[in-house]
Amino acid sequence: MNVEYVVLHFHFIHMTLLQIASLIRNQISPFITNANIDINMLKDEIINTRNRLVYEYDLKKQLLSPEQLYVEINCIPVVCKDISECCDIDSDEKVLVAEIPELMQISSIPNLRYVGTIDRSTPFNLIKGNAYLYRKFAKWTSKMKAVWHREAKKQLVLYNYNTSIPPKYITVELIPKNEQEILKYECACINEEDVEFKCPDYLISVITEKLLAQYMSQYQMGHLQANTQSEIIGLKQ
């Protein structure tokens, strides 16, 4: 049986992950009577498809509007720890440590572009890899606040900060591998179950097209009818 599906040509910017998943499921559900499409599984498929497409487009240097992938989180909590506890360094130095979501691998733009105070008055100098080993010998380390991104542990380690009066939170701008990790931060979600899906509009159309085709092929169903604009608006409300 030939599978036909509809490509949705609407603006998806500022839609949440749940809204996009519901939009896809609503397209398919009337034609699938023998299967239950789990909304959480569909969310995972949307994220995985987005990540794969970003990787492919980025590799081919065809990724447009990548800045739309960034998420800003204004409430990353920080805790004071001994540096030997978090960084495998034999020292009694105290540092501030913050846990962040796993980042998407992307080469065209930084996957972490800002770490600093909530009011953005004090950005921290970003250190990656083994550069933290040489920080004491660099001119800026004696005074400038710095942060080491310990990517394997999903940690930010802050240096040159007054740990006797540590900030409770910091702000980050990053490209998460999975938006659903953001739900654990108290200020970053719309509600307890949903979060805005960060992705260029054209890629969401491709994601939607691919998942519609996948489900249509899987269940060998008939034709899909396009959603009306009123249905799209209803999902955004």
Q: Give CA torsion, residues 93, 94, 100, 104, to 10 deg.
A: -20
Name the helix (H) or strand (E) containing 48.
Answer: helix 39-59
Torsional sign, CA 201, 206, 207, 209:
positive
pLDDT of 52 higher than 90: yes
Q: What is the pLDDT of residues 158-212, one digit of tens each?
A: 877 765 677 889 999 999 999 999 988 877 555 556 888 999 989 999 999 999 8
Q: What pTM was computed for the model?
A: 0.78
In single-letter form, the type of residue at position 35 comes to A
Comparing 49 with 219, the larger pLDDT belongs to 49
Lookup result for tokens 């992307």: 106
Q: What is the mean pLDDT of the chain?
A: 78
Quickly state the pLDDT bin for 50 (edges 50, 70, 90): very high
Q: Is the pLDDT of residue 2 over 80?
A: no
Nearest to 112 by CA among 97, 102, 122: 102
108, pLDDT greater than 90: yes
> What is the pLDDT at residue 135?
53
Annotated domain spans of the chain? 17-66+195-236, 71-174
pLDDT score, position 89: 60
pLDDT of residue 233: 40
